[in-house]
Amino acid sequence: MDALDLLLKRCSVPRLAAPAPSGEALENIIQAGLRAPDHGALTPWQFVICEGDGLTRLSTILAEAAQANGADETAVKNAKNAPFRAPMVVAVIARTRVHDKVPTIDQHISAGCATHAMQMAAVAQGYQGFWRTGAFAYHPAVREALAVEGDDHIVGFLYLGTPDCAAANAPKRDTSQFVSYL
Ligand SMILES: Cc1cc2nc3c(=O)[nH]c(=O)nc-3n(C[C@H](O)[C@H](O)[C@H](O)COP(=O)(O)O)c2cc1C
Protein backbone atom coordinates (compact mmCIF):
# COMPACT_ATOMS: atom_id res chain seq x y z
CA MET A 1 0.00 0.00 0.00
CA ASP A 2 1.26 3.43 -0.93
CA ALA A 3 2.42 5.33 2.18
CA LEU A 4 0.54 8.52 1.32
CA ASP A 5 -2.62 6.55 0.58
CA LEU A 6 -2.33 4.93 3.99
CA LEU A 7 -1.95 8.30 5.68
CA LEU A 8 -4.77 9.95 3.76
CA LYS A 9 -7.29 7.13 3.83
CA ARG A 10 -6.75 5.36 7.16
CA CYS A 11 -10.01 4.52 8.86
CA SER A 12 -10.82 2.48 11.94
CA VAL A 13 -12.73 -0.77 11.69
CA PRO A 14 -14.73 -1.67 14.80
CA ARG A 15 -15.57 -5.26 13.81
CA LEU A 16 -12.46 -7.38 13.83
CA ALA A 17 -12.23 -11.13 13.45
CA ALA A 18 -9.53 -13.78 13.58
CA PRO A 19 -6.84 -14.14 12.55
CA ALA A 20 -4.95 -11.61 14.60
CA PRO A 21 -1.60 -10.49 13.27
CA SER A 22 1.12 -12.94 14.18
CA GLY A 23 4.73 -13.75 13.34
CA GLU A 24 6.43 -11.25 11.08
CA ALA A 25 3.28 -9.12 10.74
CA LEU A 26 3.01 -8.69 14.52
CA GLU A 27 6.74 -8.05 14.80
CA ASN A 28 6.38 -5.32 12.14
CA ILE A 29 3.51 -3.76 14.09
CA ILE A 30 5.55 -3.64 17.29
CA GLN A 31 8.62 -2.37 15.42
CA ALA A 32 6.48 0.40 13.91
CA GLY A 33 5.46 1.39 17.45
CA LEU A 34 9.10 1.42 18.46
CA ARG A 35 9.83 3.94 15.68
CA ALA A 36 7.55 6.58 17.21
CA PRO A 37 9.13 10.00 17.63
CA ASP A 38 10.89 9.90 20.97
CA HIS A 39 12.13 13.08 22.66
CA GLY A 40 15.39 12.31 24.44
CA ALA A 41 15.40 8.66 23.30
CA LEU A 42 13.59 7.66 26.49
CA THR A 43 11.67 4.80 24.78
CA PRO A 44 8.62 5.50 26.97
CA TRP A 45 6.55 2.58 25.66
CA GLN A 46 5.31 -0.75 26.80
CA PHE A 47 2.99 -2.97 24.82
CA VAL A 48 0.95 -5.60 26.65
CA ILE A 49 -0.35 -8.08 24.10
CA CYS A 50 -3.60 -9.80 25.05
CA GLU A 51 -4.61 -12.80 22.97
CA GLY A 52 -6.29 -16.09 23.85
CA ASP A 53 -6.00 -16.50 27.63
CA GLY A 54 -4.64 -12.95 27.79
CA LEU A 55 -7.94 -11.64 26.43
CA THR A 56 -9.76 -13.63 29.10
CA ARG A 57 -7.50 -12.10 31.75
CA LEU A 58 -8.17 -8.61 30.36
CA SER A 59 -11.89 -9.37 30.37
CA THR A 60 -11.71 -10.33 34.07
CA ILE A 61 -9.73 -7.17 34.88
CA LEU A 62 -12.34 -4.95 33.17
CA ALA A 63 -15.28 -6.79 34.74
CA GLU A 64 -13.75 -6.46 38.21
CA ALA A 65 -13.17 -2.75 37.62
CA ALA A 66 -16.82 -2.35 36.60
CA GLN A 67 -17.89 -4.24 39.72
CA ALA A 68 -15.68 -2.03 41.86
CA ASN A 69 -17.56 0.95 40.37
CA GLY A 70 -20.84 -0.58 41.54
CA ALA A 71 -21.94 -1.05 37.92
CA ASP A 72 -25.15 -2.96 37.26
CA GLU A 73 -25.19 -6.45 35.78
CA THR A 74 -25.47 -5.21 32.19
CA ALA A 75 -22.53 -2.85 32.55
CA VAL A 76 -20.39 -5.57 34.12
CA LYS A 77 -21.30 -7.90 31.25
CA ASN A 78 -20.42 -5.22 28.69
CA ALA A 79 -17.05 -4.69 30.35
CA LYS A 80 -16.45 -8.42 30.39
CA ASN A 81 -17.30 -8.75 26.70
CA ALA A 82 -15.39 -5.68 25.54
CA PRO A 83 -12.00 -7.30 24.86
CA PHE A 84 -13.57 -9.97 22.68
CA ARG A 85 -14.42 -7.45 19.97
CA ALA A 86 -11.11 -8.45 18.38
CA PRO A 87 -8.82 -11.47 18.52
CA MET A 88 -6.04 -9.31 19.94
CA VAL A 89 -5.86 -6.23 22.13
CA VAL A 90 -2.60 -4.42 22.71
CA ALA A 91 -2.58 -2.21 25.78
CA VAL A 92 -0.20 0.64 24.99
CA ILE A 93 1.31 2.11 28.12
CA ALA A 94 3.32 5.31 28.38
CA ARG A 95 6.12 4.35 30.76
CA THR A 96 7.40 7.77 31.67
CA ARG A 97 10.34 8.98 33.68
CA VAL A 98 11.23 12.29 35.21
CA HIS A 99 13.69 14.08 32.96
CA ASP A 100 14.98 17.63 33.20
CA LYS A 101 14.54 18.33 29.46
CA VAL A 102 11.68 16.02 28.44
CA PRO A 103 8.33 16.78 30.02
CA THR A 104 6.04 13.88 30.81
CA ILE A 105 3.51 15.06 28.26
CA ASP A 106 6.06 14.54 25.48
CA GLN A 107 6.38 10.94 26.61
CA HIS A 108 2.61 10.45 26.59
CA ILE A 109 2.41 11.94 23.10
CA SER A 110 5.15 9.57 21.97
CA ALA A 111 3.15 6.60 23.23
CA GLY A 112 0.14 7.95 21.32
CA CYS A 113 2.27 8.19 18.18
CA ALA A 114 3.34 4.59 18.76
CA THR A 115 -0.31 3.52 18.90
CA HIS A 116 -1.07 5.30 15.65
CA ALA A 117 1.99 3.81 13.95
CA MET A 118 0.95 0.33 15.07
CA GLN A 119 -2.55 0.79 13.68
CA MET A 120 -1.03 1.98 10.40
CA ALA A 121 1.36 -0.97 10.26
CA ALA A 122 -1.59 -3.31 10.81
CA VAL A 123 -3.54 -1.72 7.94
CA ALA A 124 -0.48 -1.78 5.67
CA GLN A 125 -0.33 -5.54 6.10
CA GLY A 126 -4.03 -6.25 5.45
CA TYR A 127 -5.16 -6.21 9.08
CA GLN A 128 -7.18 -3.54 10.80
CA GLY A 129 -7.46 -1.85 14.14
CA PHE A 130 -9.51 0.27 16.46
CA TRP A 131 -7.99 2.48 19.16
CA ARG A 132 -10.02 2.67 22.33
CA THR A 133 -9.47 4.01 25.80
CA GLY A 134 -12.85 4.26 27.50
CA ALA A 135 -13.17 4.93 31.21
CA PHE A 136 -11.41 1.69 32.09
CA ALA A 137 -8.07 2.91 30.77
CA TYR A 138 -8.04 5.34 33.68
CA HIS A 139 -9.55 3.06 36.32
CA PRO A 140 -7.27 2.45 39.34
CA ALA A 141 -7.97 -1.32 39.32
CA VAL A 142 -7.05 -1.62 35.63
CA ARG A 143 -3.95 0.50 36.13
CA GLU A 144 -2.90 -1.67 39.04
CA ALA A 145 -3.50 -4.90 37.12
CA LEU A 146 -1.28 -3.64 34.30
CA ALA A 147 1.32 -2.23 36.71
CA VAL A 148 0.68 1.36 35.61
CA GLU A 149 1.83 3.78 38.29
CA GLY A 150 2.32 7.48 38.92
CA ASP A 151 2.41 9.62 35.78
CA ASP A 152 2.28 6.58 33.50
CA HIS A 153 -0.87 6.05 31.49
CA ILE A 154 -2.62 3.49 29.39
CA VAL A 155 -2.87 5.60 26.25
CA GLY A 156 -4.88 3.05 24.36
CA PHE A 157 -6.24 -0.40 23.96
CA LEU A 158 -5.44 -1.10 20.32
CA TYR A 159 -7.84 -3.73 19.04
CA LEU A 160 -6.29 -5.65 16.15
CA GLY A 161 -7.55 -8.28 13.78
CA THR A 162 -8.84 -9.02 10.31
CA PRO A 163 -11.54 -6.62 9.11
CA ASP A 164 -15.00 -8.13 9.41
CA CYS A 165 -16.69 -5.21 7.66
CA ALA A 166 -15.62 -2.59 5.19
CA ALA A 167 -13.73 0.41 6.49
CA ALA A 168 -15.66 3.65 6.25
CA ASN A 169 -14.62 6.07 3.57
CA ALA A 170 -12.27 8.61 5.04
CA PRO A 171 -13.96 12.01 4.99
CA LYS A 172 -12.04 14.58 2.99
CA ARG A 173 -11.84 17.57 5.26
CA ASP A 174 -11.47 21.18 4.28
CA THR A 175 -7.93 22.06 5.31
CA SER A 176 -8.71 25.78 5.45
CA GLN A 177 -10.75 25.24 8.61
CA PHE A 178 -7.75 23.82 10.45
CA VAL A 179 -4.86 25.78 9.07
CA SER A 180 -3.72 29.31 9.69
CA TYR A 181 -0.46 31.07 8.94
CA LEU A 182 1.39 33.20 11.42
C1 LIG B 1 -6.72 8.39 22.49
C2 LIG B 1 -7.93 7.90 21.76
C3 LIG B 1 -8.88 7.18 22.46
C4 LIG B 1 -10.04 6.72 21.82
N5 LIG B 1 -10.96 6.01 22.53
C6 LIG B 1 -12.08 5.60 21.95
C7 LIG B 1 -13.03 4.85 22.68
O8 LIG B 1 -12.85 4.56 23.86
N9 LIG B 1 -14.16 4.48 22.04
C10 LIG B 1 -14.39 4.81 20.72
O11 LIG B 1 -15.46 4.46 20.19
N12 LIG B 1 -13.49 5.49 20.00
C13 LIG B 1 -12.34 5.89 20.57
N14 LIG B 1 -11.41 6.58 19.84
C15 LIG B 1 -11.70 6.95 18.43
C16 LIG B 1 -11.53 5.79 17.44
O17 LIG B 1 -10.30 5.14 17.61
C18 LIG B 1 -11.62 6.30 15.99
O19 LIG B 1 -10.54 7.14 15.70
C20 LIG B 1 -12.91 7.05 15.73
O21 LIG B 1 -13.99 6.15 15.87
C22 LIG B 1 -12.94 7.69 14.33
O23 LIG B 1 -12.77 6.73 13.37
P24 LIG B 1 -11.62 6.88 12.27
O25 LIG B 1 -10.32 6.54 12.98
O26 LIG B 1 -12.00 5.88 11.23
O27 LIG B 1 -11.64 8.28 11.77
C28 LIG B 1 -10.23 7.00 20.43
C29 LIG B 1 -9.23 7.69 19.72
C30 LIG B 1 -8.11 8.13 20.38
C31 LIG B 1 -7.04 8.88 19.59
Task: Specify the CATH number for the domain of residue 34.
Answer: 3.40.109.10
Is 170 a member of any domain?
Answer: yes
Is 97 a member of any domain?
Answer: yes
Using the mean position of ligand 1's atoms as its centre, give its distance from the Cα of residue 133 in Å: 8
The CB density around residue 148, as the number of other CB atoms within 10 Å, is 21
Burial of 26 (0-12, 13-18, 19+ CB in 10 A): buried
pLDDT for 169: 85
15 φ, ψ to 5°?
-100, 110
Answer yes or no: is the C-beta of 133 below 6 A from any ligand 1 atom.
Answer: yes
pLDDT for 56: 98
In ligand 1, the atom with minimum distance to the C-alpha of 13 is 26
Is 9 a member of any domain?
Answer: no
Is 125 a member of any domain?
Answer: yes
The CB density around residue 116, as the number of other CB atoms within 10 Å, is 18
Range of the domain at 163: 14-177
Is 7 a member of any domain?
Answer: no
Is 69 a member of any domain?
Answer: yes
Answer yes or no: is the C-beta of 78 below 6 A from any ligand 1 atom.
Answer: no
pLDDT for 75: 95
pLDDT along the chain (182 residues), means of 10: 91 95 98 98 98 98 96 96 98 98 98 98 96 96 97 98 88 95 97
